[in-house]
Structure 1
Amino acid sequence: MTAMLVTLARRTTAVLVASATLVVLAGPAHADVPEGWSNPEPVSPLYALLLLGGVPILLFALVWAAVYVPPLVRGERVSAGGGAGEDQWFGGPRKGTSELAGPDNDESKAGGASARW
C-alpha cells in the first residue's frame, strides 16, 4: 500500500513540475501588428456591450415571439402544463358511450368487463 502511495506521489510531482516548466518557458508573446495589416481603432465599451448583449437578447425575443404569439392569437393557453385536452377514444363510438350495445339478457357478454371475484 505504501509503495503505491509513493509511486502516486512521484507521478503527481513529475506531472506538476513538467506543467510548471512548460508554463514558465512559454512566456508572453511580444509581437507587433504585422506589416500590411491595419491597426483598427479601439472599440467603444458601450458599442461592444450593445453588440454582444443586445443581439442575443433580440434573437431571444424573436424566437419567443415566433413560438408564443401564434397560440396567443388563436386564444390558446400557453402556461406551463398547457390546457387539458379533450379525451379521445380512437376507433370508439362517435357520440359517446350511448352508442354502446347494452346486455340483451343475463347471459349476454355485451356492455361490460364481466369481471368475477
Structure 2
Amino acid sequence: MSTPVSPSRPERTRGARRAGRLAVLAATPALALLAAPAQADVPEGWGGETTQLEPDLLHALGLYLGAPLLLFVLIALAVFLPAMIRGEKLLPTHEHGEGQWIGGPRQGIAELPAPDGEDSRAGGARGSW
C-alpha cells in the first residue's frame, strides 16, 4: 500500500496568506472607526411624552389567552392532521394482546414445578403476614 505524498507548498501561498491576515487586521480598526452613531433627530411627538397606553380587557385577554390557545391549536393540527388525512386511528383500541412473560419459561406455566406438599414453595408467588 502506498501513501501519496503531497508536494510542498510554494512560498507565494504563504506570502498570500500573510498578506491576507495583515489586510484583515488593518481593516478591523478602520471599520470600527467608520461605525459612527447616526445623527438623527427624535421624531415629533416622541420627546417628553409620559402617557402610557393601557389596553382594555378584551385586548389583554386576546393577547394573553387567545394567542397561546391559537398557537396550541395550530401545533395540534400540525401534528394530528397528517395522520387524520391518511386515515390512521388516533386513539388506542385497548385490545388485549397475548401476555408476555419476559425471562419466564418458554412453554408458559406448564414448565413450572407443581407444589410437592403443604410446605412447598414451588408453584407461584405467595405472601404471608
Q: Which has the larger radius of gyration?
A: 2
TM-score by length of 1: 0.35
TM-score by length of 2: 0.32
Q: Which one has the bigger helix percentage?
A: 1
